[in-house]
Chains A and B, each alone.
Chain A
Amino acid sequence: MPTELQEPQSHVMTPLVTDGDSTALGLSRGKRAQPLFDPPIVRRALVDSFIKLNPRTLAKNPVMFVVEVGAMLTTVLLFRTIGAGHQGVLFQAQIAAWLWFTVLFANFAEAMAEGRGKAQADNLRKTKSDATARLITPAGKVEVVGAASLRKGDVCLCEPDDIIPSDGEVIEGIASVDESVITGESAPVIRESGGDRSAVTGGTRVLSDYIKVRITSNPGETFLDRMISLVEGAQRQKTPNEIALNIMIAGLTLIFLFAVMTLAPFAKYSVTRANAGAIPSVIVLVSLLVCLIPTTIGGLLSAIGIAGMDRVMQHNVLAMSGKAVEAAGDVNTLLLDKTGTITLGNRQAVELIPVAGVTGEELADAAQLSSLADETPEGRSIVVLAKEKYGLRGREISAHNAEFIPFSAQTRMSGINFEGHQIRKGATRSVKRYIIDMGGVFPQQVEDIADGISRTGGTPLVVSRDKQALGVIHLKDVVKGGMRERFAQMRLMGIRTVMITGDNPLTAAAIAAEAGVDDFLAQATPKDKLDLIKKEQAGGRLVAMTGDGTNDAPALAQADVGVAMNTGTMAAKEAGNMVDLDSNPTKLIEIVAIGKQLLITRGALTTFSIANDVAKYFAIIPAMFAVTYPALNRINIMGLHTPESAILSAVIFNALIIIALVPVALRGVKYRPLSAGALLRRNLLVYGLGGVIAPFPAIWAIDRLLGALHLA
């Protein structure tokens, strides 16, 4: 029985690689996709950029903190210069201003990344604020109370148009529920007592019928509460790789601090010996320092992490931690449930094979008759096949004194008694026993055909009329379109796919071969699944899986990336570290791509940031010692026209590159599923070599512009 009104999302395939545009990262834009620069978010981010100037907040980011201290220092020196009426106010004022801009741009990037989540959290809060609940007291009376007063174990009644007051479990009744506030999906879903579809989420709305709900969460601990804090990033903790990267750029910052600090005594020696020029001023040294320290990655690092989480969110997946998203990029083994992920979920009739002496039409006729009343997808597919291949139309059978025989666990057959004939279809063994019991003969040929179908991974259904076996229906699991290509891409990325199925090994092997997965686990029990995960992990591999049932919970908890389906049980959702609000198991593949993209973006901008320094040295060093060592002007290969302009241009470039790369940080760099070697070659070329070369023309252009505007 289908328990969901909602069409399973898994039928909708999203190609991993679209055309060459910006979504070529293989990630379809989710439902929550918004333009990158949404005006309200930008406005809010602009304000936040200034709030984030608070040194106590900024101290968490060592690179930007150094820039802010530099900005303060240059500002103080600027006022001293103005007060003393010295020359060079224009230059100093511009340096100070651009240093402040550098900090603001970094703050803006972070605020933009946070903005989308904050806007979403506000919406969620609205639904939460003033819900009421009909509490059923132990005496059996219904009392209206505030949702906030509900505790674990309370029982509530929810009727049409009621907001379900808190997370809970349906203990009585069945209702259609609108969960769009959580999933963004407007089609209602069915919630009923018992089984895997009994969990309801606070904040969702009952559309029809009624349910009694036992509350399972105390206030503040509900799914909605967690979701708000997650999308808002309130509890955002730095991920392990982000921490390591922070240490590295902090270390580089110190090295450059040493290089700039010692430059003053070096300069003193040089100036004394050359007897010309002066030791570079503090403002110039601060400018050099800011240009050298990795401000680009330092300013964008947290934005990249937040945006990565947000991208997962846009795919309607709720990641419980950034660590899980990061781990997704590292996954070595993907465990995919066969049904719903790899195959369409239902077996379909693909062929009718009659025994000798029976025509195809005869068999098709019997098969169709036996299935007309069979509402299972398999039954429907038989009717469809009979119609498509043999031109048999559906018949009105109520007039013919027909009696339907439903499937039962005892007989393991279904069928119809029709115009005096007993037509049955069922598993080989069942039909065989049935015919022999009636005194008939079960031909060896039927067994051979059935075995042949089993060997190819199909399911044989034998059709009989009275004492005669007519032939065999070949039911087959249909692999979704495009899966083969996706698994090939996975392999290219070094990810092994393992299909998990309850089928027997023969069937599993055939489907595995057809779908192109690397391995399969047949007749899998939840324990087998858990053992497989542990075995993979013992070999040092990271494992990702999806699951929905309560019995998936241990495996979900053990997996490095466990994606629970939102339609699943509360236990599954608690055990996993992500919840897919669309309940689409195929999405695991996209989550992996997002994780990879997040890491690549970090690496690319780090490389770019460090590579940029080469050009800045060529701009600033000759400018610093223009008077002391005029010969050094020969390394001013950009031909920057004055020392002030050279320094200012480098500082301006350094600030602008942050803002220019905000879209890259928020959207992530393009990602294509390629082998590591190919990816590395491409990214090293673009961000490494590109990072060395790009600043030269840019700084040159800024220098010309400053000259034209008489700013330096």
Chain B
Amino acid sequence: MTPNGWLQIALFFVLIIACAKPLGKFIAEVMEGRRTFLTGLLGPVERLVYRLCGVTLDPEGKPEEQHWTRYAGALLAFSAFSALLLYAFQRLQGWLPFNPQGLNQNNVSPDLAFNTSVSFTTNTNWQSYVPETTLSYFVQMAGMTVHNFLSAAAGLGIAMALVRGFARQSVQTIGNFWADLTRATLYILLPISVVAALFFCSQGVIQNLNGYETATTLEGPRQTIAQGPVASQEAIKMLGTNGGGFFNANSAHPYENPTPLSNLAQMFLIFLIPGALTYTFGIMVRDTKQGWALFGAMSVLWFAGVLTAYNFEQAGTPVLSKAGVELSPTGEQSGGNMEGKETRFGIANTALFATVTTDASCGAVNGMHDSFTPLGGLVPLFNIQLGEVVFGGVGAGLYGMLMFAILAVFIAGLMVGRTPEYLGKKIEKKEVKMAMIAMLVLAAAILFFTAAGSVAEFAKNGYWNPQGPATANLNNPGAHGFAEILYAYTSGTGNNGSAFAGISANTPWYNLTIGLAMLIGRFLMVLPLLAIASSLAAKRQVPASAGTFPTHGPLFVGLLVGVVVIVGALTYFPALSLGPLVEHLML
């Protein structure tokens, strides 16, 4: 590890801290429907959207507040509709415009289209396909990019609904889904994306609708160079913690992520909203220290991840060392494990990117996680298994962390001699039940799908998995192969979308099971959380006293970190020990 590497990591984090407060305040104002500097410009658009969509308004002209069941109903209906639309776009792309390469339904099988539309609706952006040879520009723009906005906005709305549960008292409503969706998109995601897209263009990210170029390389062979409207999708891909690349190589591709500066901007965009949301939370519950405590817990976990990943990637492995690779960094070369990494990013920025993209539910990659050292690769895997609560996805990180906070307060809060309460709200049967359901669902999806994936048998050249047994799709034997299956289902359930790679996942079996994992991971987690929001909103707030469990100091930060890590470790230790852990021990 080099001082230069640490300096870049520190720079990244300083930017996140600096933006948390101003952006967090802005988000709180927007999501509570207050006037901001953009209201003059975008207010009419917002009202137009409500009118066009027939959103029920209250006498004051604001969208009507919803009970959680109606909020959830709207979320589910909207998600189902948009998933179907995206499915149709893919299957009908041959008849749709902006298709210079003439891609059609033969490029997108039904199971792949299902997987992909679920993937983008759930903010996962798992890609079983190679975008540049599969999807037309129209599908990329009207499908993928639009979903990148809407799935992130929906996640932000859900987080706000949960926070409102804490902030309000003795009410039955938790906000309006349509208003949350509209405001998040219009005031937050769109303006930042426009700025970011222009910045990416300045760095060399392309933005065109041209056909693919052909070039002759220095060695002679002809090479096709894909084109497209990349910058516009790139901005929201990072900002909305979506992660679905315009190209197969994702953020390792020079057209997506050309310079170290664009790389920094990409990582910054991932954490930008999730970091700010902790401050939004603090404002909404009228105690910003509560928000900083969550920020603190997330920072600790983020730093532990970066430290581990950077350390093991820089240290390399005995195998590399035996092969004669120089492992210590010098002025001329980076040392360590450079397999699967871009030289323009180096080890520090690849380890940081891998940590950030899996801390959040982004899933964009600028290197091959599969090529990481076992423990370096354990970091992204374990980050997702922790529930992506380290800043996390847009909204998803906050509501995931709040779920852990509820559990932490419930387990340890009793030790102050009061029935547990968080932010003045008693944590009782209903909250515990719903939080446990959410946790159970995630654990069950990851574990059972991985179990099925590691033993499922199929006929060779059959429909479900032409390669034969599910394990035949692995590029690596033994413990590393197991890690590849585990990572795939973990990434799907966690709505991350990054791939360990090394697994050929574009078969009906994997498309279907990973698709199901993504649906379960998103909606079966969100529904119990909305129920919690409703139950909390109906409760009265108990005023804090000296006897109240303090949830804003370092002690709570430590407790929260401990609960996140221990719950994650206890659930996945057996699986991890048969994957990355034993792989490391066998080096």
Interface residues of chain A, those whose CB is within 8 Å of chain B, are: 240-241, 243-245, 247-248, 250-252, 254-256, 258-270, 273-274, 292, 326, 329-330, 332, 491-496, 539-541, 595-597, 599-600, 602-604, 606-607, 610-611, 613-614, 617, 621, 625, 629, 631-632, 634-635, 671, 675-677, 679-681, 683-684, 687-688
- Subset of 6 A-B contacts with CB under 8 Å: A262-B451, A265-B454, A494-B548, A604-B414, A613-B566, A629-B479
State whether B439 touches A676 (Cβ < 8 A). no
Which residue of B417, B481, B571, B575 is within 8 Å of A596 (Cβ)? B417
Q: How far is the CB of A689 from chain B (nearest CB, A)?
A: 9
> Which chain B residues (401-423) contact chain A, with CB distance < 8 Å?
407, 410-420
Q: A269-B471, A273-B478, A677-B555 are in contact. Are A240 and B429 (CB under 8 A)?
A: yes
State whether B415 touches A679 (Cβ < 8 A). yes
State whether B448 touches A329 (Cβ < 8 A). no
State whether B418 touches A541 (Cβ < 8 A). no
State whether A256 touches B429 (Cβ < 8 A). no
Q: A625-B578, A677-B553, A680-B555 are in contact. Are A268 and B454 (CB under 8 A)?
A: yes
The docked-state distance in angstroms from the alpha carbon of A688 to that of B565 is 13
State whether B413 touches A273 (Cβ < 8 A). no
State whether B479 touches A262 (Cβ < 8 A). no
Looking at chain A's contact residues, is the secondary structure mostly helix, strand, loop, or mixed? helix
The docked-state distance in angstroms from the alpha carbon of A496 to that of B481 is 61
Q: A274-B478, A675-B547 are in contact. Are A617 and B573 (CB under 8 A)?
A: yes
| B141 at interface by CB-CB < 8 Å | no
State whether A254 touches B559 (Cβ < 8 A). no
State whether A269 touches B577 (Cβ < 8 A). no
| B296 at interface by CB-CB < 8 Å | no
Q: A258-B447, A494-B545, A603-B411 are in contact. Are A251 and B440 (CB under 8 A)?
A: yes
The docked-state distance in angstroms from the alpha carbon of A632 to that of B582 is 6
Nearest chain-B residue to A542 (Cβ)?
Answer: B542
| B424 at interface by CB-CB < 8 Å | yes
Q: A240-B419, A688-B562 are in contact. Are A270 and B479 (CB under 8 A)?
A: yes
| B482 at interface by CB-CB < 8 Å | yes
The docked-state distance in angstroms from the alpha carbon of A255 to that of B385 is 14
Which residue of B437, B543, B549 is within 8 Å of A540 (Cβ)? B543
| B574 at interface by CB-CB < 8 Å | yes
State whether B440 touches A603 (Cβ < 8 A). no
The docked-state distance in angstroms from the alpha carbon of A243 to that of B429 is 7
State whether B577 touches A635 (Cβ < 8 A). yes
| B92 at interface by CB-CB < 8 Å | no
State whether B571 touches A684 (Cβ < 8 A). no
Q: A596-B418, A680-B415 are in contact. Are A266 and B432 (CB under 8 A)?
A: no
Please give, as numbers and ranges, the residues of chain B lying within 8 Å of A540 by CB-CB distance: 424, 540-543
The docked-state distance in angstroms from the alpha carbon of A260 to that of B451 is 11
Q: How far is the CB of B237 from chain A (nearest CB, A)?
A: 33
Please give, as numbers and ranges, the residues of chain A lying within 8 Å of B545 by CB-CB distance: 332, 494-496
State whether B428 touches A244 (Cβ < 8 A). yes
The docked-state distance in angstroms from the alpha carbon of A539 to that of B548 is 15
State whether A259 touches B571 (Cβ < 8 A). yes
| B444 at interface by CB-CB < 8 Å | yes
| B323 at interface by CB-CB < 8 Å | no
The docked-state distance in angstroms from the alpha carbon of A182 to that of B460 is 81
Please give, as numbers and ranges, the residues of chain A lying within 8 Å of B452 by CB-CB distance: 265
> Which chain B residues (473-524) contact chain A, with CB distance < 8 Å?
477-479, 481-482
Q: Which 8 A-B pairs have the closest CB atoms?
A: A494-B547, A603-B414, A596-B417, A251-B436, A494-B545, A603-B415, A494-B546, A269-B454
The docked-state distance in angstroms from the alpha carbon of A40 to that of B586 is 58
Cβ proximity bits B109-126 to A, threshold 8 Å, 1 near / 0 not: 000000000000000000
Q: A603-B415, A621-B573, A629-B578 are in contact. Are A258 and B410 (CB under 8 A)?
A: no
| B77 at interface by CB-CB < 8 Å | no
State whether A607 touches B411 (Cβ < 8 A). yes
Q: How far is the CB of A191 from chain B (nearest CB, A)?
A: 39
Q: How far is the CB of A358 from chain B (nearest CB, A)?
A: 51
Nearest chain-B residue to A613 (Cβ)?
Answer: B570
Please give, as numbers and ranges, the residues of chain B lying within 8 Å of A252 by CB-CB distance: 436
Q: How far is the CB of A255 from chain B (nearest CB, A)?
A: 5
Nearest chain-B residue to A243 (Cβ)?
Answer: B429
Which residue of A247, A267, A326, A599 is within 8 Å of B433 (Cβ)? A247
State whether A676 touches B548 (Cβ < 8 A). yes
Please give, as numbers and ranges, the residues of chain A lying within 8 Å of B479 by CB-CB distance: 270, 273, 629
| B53 at interface by CB-CB < 8 Å | no
Q: How far is the CB of B552 from chain A (nearest CB, A)?
A: 10
State whether A676 touches B547 (Cβ < 8 A). yes
Which residue of A247, A492, A596, A677 is within 8 Å of B550 (Cβ)? A677
Q: How far is the CB of B456 from chain A (nearest CB, A)?
A: 9
Please give, as numbers and ranges, the residues of chain B lying within 8 Å of A266 by CB-CB distance: 450-451, 454, 482, 574-575, 578
Q: A494, A634, A635: which has the most chain B beta carbons within 10 Å?
A: A494
| B455 at interface by CB-CB < 8 Å | yes
State whether B417 touches A329 (Cβ < 8 A). yes
The docked-state distance in angstroms from the alpha carbon of A632 to that of B541 is 50
Please give, as numbers and ranges, the residues of chain B lying within 8 Å of A330 by CB-CB distance: 418-419
State whether B419 touches A599 (Cβ < 8 A). yes
State whether A259 touches B419 (Cβ < 8 A). no
Q: A248-B411, A265-B452, A634-B585 are in contact. Are A256 and B543 (CB under 8 A)?
A: no
Please give, as numbers and ranges, the residues of chain A lying within 8 Å of B455 by CB-CB distance: 265, 268-269
